[in-house]
């Protein structure tokens, strides 16, 4: 059941329970509904990963992503493993999000940035990154730990919101 509701960060779309394949299809449809979607880039945050960094990276089903090994190493410990990947490719973002959604029991957060910049944002230090991301964030996907819930957050633009809602729920007007 689709639920549209305001929150302190703009609007959220709660899509309810969905399989990995359904979530991938929904993310595709949502991104296709955004105007000027050729200029998007994606920052994917994952927590709760297990094993070494090399273990986590070895089976990823795409190579079209960037990350900073040194910056990642500071956060990648056995107690709290956090990984930050960046890509300019929509298909690879969806692949990465659904892959890690099936793999781990932590949150996955995908910032969708509206920018044509060629900056490899995976290498930016945390403080610089936050200053870079916030003004460019168009929306964010959040995949809950149980892997069944997909949320779309920070969708502040009313036209985007209604286009997205129409794309994922034809009955919404």
Express each pLDDT in 14-41 by its tens digit: 666 777 777 788 888 888 888 777 788 9
pLDDT, residue 9, reads 62
Confidence bin at 112 (pLDDT 50/70/90): very high
pTM of the model: 0.81
pLDDT, residue 172, reads 47
Q: Judge whether residue 45 has pLDDT over 80.
A: yes
Which residues touch 154 (CB under 8 Å, ≥6 apart)? 9, 10, 137, 138, 139, 140
User: CA-CA distance, 88 to 71, in Å (whole number)?
Assistant: 20
């Amino acid at each position: 059941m689709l639920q549209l509701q305001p929150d302190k960060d703009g609007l959220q779309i709660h899509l309810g329970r969905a399989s990995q394949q359904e979530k991938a299809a929904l993310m595709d449809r949502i991104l296709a509904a955004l105007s000027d979607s050729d200029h998007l880039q994606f920052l994917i945050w994952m927590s709760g990963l297990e094993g070494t960094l090399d273990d986590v990276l070895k089976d990823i089903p795409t190579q079209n992503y960037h990350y900073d090994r040194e910056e990642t190493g500071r956060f990648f410990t056995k107690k709290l493993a956090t990984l930050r990947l960046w890509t300019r490719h929509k298909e690879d973002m969806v692949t990465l999000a659904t892959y890690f959604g099936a793999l781990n029991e932590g949150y996955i957060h995908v910032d969708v940035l509206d920018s044509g910049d060629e900056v490899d944002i995976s290498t930016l230090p945390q403080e610089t990154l936050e200053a870079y991301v916030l003004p460019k964030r168009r929306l964010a996907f959040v995949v809950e730990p149980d892997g069944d819930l997909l949320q779309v957050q920070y969708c502040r633009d009313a036209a985007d919101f209604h286009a997205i809602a129409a794309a994922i729920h034809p009955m919404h007007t």
